Amino acid sequence: MPLQNHHEILSVDDHLIEHPRVWQDRLPQKYREVGPRIIEDENKHHVWRYEGRNFPQIGLNAVAGKDPRDFGTEPVRYEDMIPGCYDPAARVKDMDLDGVKAAMCYPSFPGFAGRVFMQADDRELAELCVQAWNDFHIDEWCGAAPDRFIPMVMAPFWDIRASVKEIERVAGKGARGLTFPENPVPLGLPSFHTRHWDDLFSALEDADMPLCLHFGSSSLAPGFAQDAPFAVEISLFATNLMWTTSDLLFSGVLQRHPKLKIVLAEGGIGWIPYITERCDYTWERHRWYMDIDKETRPSELFRKHFYGCFIDDEHGVKNRHEIGIDRITFEVDYPHSDSNWPNTRRRAAQVLADVPDDEVEQMLSGNVRTLFNFGN
């Protein structure tokens, strides 16, 4: 049987749009003017202003509920968005409408993993901005409906010691997952092949908090050609997560951090069998002359550490046993253009038409409960 009424959906990848006062309500007085705030520009558009620069996209890709024929125009004022984008009470209603029990919501203005703060001039302010977002997210957003939102946080990734401190602070407040760049290298930070991140990964292990990697969060756009239509980039974003997967599998990180969990967001799952098989093939032939683990097959590491998620991936669902039912989660992607809201359940029922009940349950909610220790 396909999706049943009793099947709950716990989405590991949704998005919130920060309301205008997220930072103004939390930053110390001296930083209010230079910290993130919403202004109206000369075109009467709402834009974020931070450190003297304008950030024109308030709700990039916030198209929830639009007909695809109307995609392509971004909201320029909060009034252009449905309130569920920025108001947690309205979001809960939109989740009810869609039959979604709980959701983990990535940041918008800061980038999916806090890139804007990584690239800021004033590090002290940037660190306060990270803390403010985390407090907003846990206290205000998730606090509005603690049984409906899975708390996600970021950290000041330019400073490992401060990152560890922040992870410990927010773990105490109920944070369940850390959003981290799909790869730190394009952001000018050390790669997974250094020991640089070890203390951060250990802190995550101690807090039992997965590392959540959203495609595109490194700021790298996939594709060869600058003059390609945007469809090329959209269709290829999962290749970023393929790069991330191989990078981590051959990095030694997972051997040093046996309890680390990696959650890949919005990348789909249909590519996982090919990439893990190819990593094994490469490992079988090339491990001898490289400084990599010669004992553990990459696919074994994947099956122990990684989790993928899908929206609408028929090939992936068909091959779910090859991927591992316990590796698969589900996402809604509200309010972005990949989302099927408010028809998430209707579409999921089609994709899951041939899947047994217990497997639907595991992929749509069971794995997420265990992974994020949520709602058990």
In the complex, the residues that contact a copy of itself under the rule CB under 8 A are: 68-73, 183, 185-186, 191-194, 218, 220, 222-232, 234-236, 238-239, 242-244, 246-247, 250-251, 268, 270-271, 273-275, 277-279, 281-292, 298, 312-316, 318-319, 322, 337-338
Reported residue count of the chain is 376
Task: Report in angstroms how near the CB of residue 87 gets to a copy of itself at its nearest.
Answer: 25
Nearer to a copy of itself, 143 or 186 (CB): 186
Using DSSP, state whether 210 is helix, strand or coil.
Answer: coil
Dihedral sign of CA atoms 5, 343, 94, 155 in order: positive
Q: How many Cβ atoms sit within 10 Å of the Cβ of residue 206?
A: 13
The answer to whether the beta carbons of residues 22 and 36 sit under 8 Å apart is yes
Helix and strand tally (H, E) in the chain? 14, 11
Q: Which residues of 162-181 are buried (b: 16+ CB within 10 A; e: fewer)?
A: bbbebbeebbeeebbbbbbb
Task: Report in angstroms how near the CB of residue 335 gets to a copy of itself at its nearest.
Answer: 14
Nearer to a copy of itself, 93 or 346 (CB): 346
Closest CA to 7 of 341, 326, 364: 364
Nearer to a copy of itself, 147 or 277 (CB): 277
Nearer to a copy of itself, 199 or 338 (CB): 338
Nearer to a copy of itself, 234 or 349 (CB): 234
Task: Report in angstroms how near the CB of residue 218 gets to a copy of itself at its nearest.
Answer: 7
Task: Report in angstroms how near the CB of residue 297 gets to a copy of itself at its nearest.
Answer: 12
Task: Report in angstroms how near the CB of residue 149 gets to a copy of itself at its nearest.
Answer: 26
Task: Please report where in the chains the tokens 């939102």 appear, as a residue.
Answer: 149
Task: Report in angstroms how near the CB of residue 223 gets to a copy of itself at its nearest.
Answer: 5
Task: Report in angstroms how near the CB of residue 318 gets to a copy of itself at its nearest.
Answer: 8
Nearer to a copy of itself, 142 or 242 (CB): 242
In this structure, the strands spanning 10-15 and 152-153 are unpaired
Task: Report in angstroms how near the CB of residue 189 gets to a copy of itself at its nearest.
Answer: 11
Calpha distance 115→70 (Å, rounded): 29
Give me the residues paired with residue 309 across strands: 329
Task: Report in angstroms how near the CB of residue 314 gets to a copy of itself at its nearest.
Answer: 6
Nearer to a copy of itself, 52 or 229 (CB): 229
Give me the residues paired with residue 263 across strands: 212, 307
Nearer to a copy of itself, 24 or 337 (CB): 337
Nearer to a copy of itself, 89 or 228 (CB): 228
Q: How many Cβ atoms sit within 10 Å of the Cβ of residue 58?
A: 25
Q: Which residues of 115-125 are buried (b: 16+ CB within 10 A; e: fewer)?
A: bbbbebeeeeb
- Would you state the structure tokens that stand for residue 32, as one six-digit string? 């209010």
Calpha distance 287→297 (Å, rounded): 10
Q: Which amino acid is at 19?
A: H
Find all residues with CB under 8 Å of 333, minimum gap 6, and list them: 11, 13, 14, 15, 266, 311, 339, 341
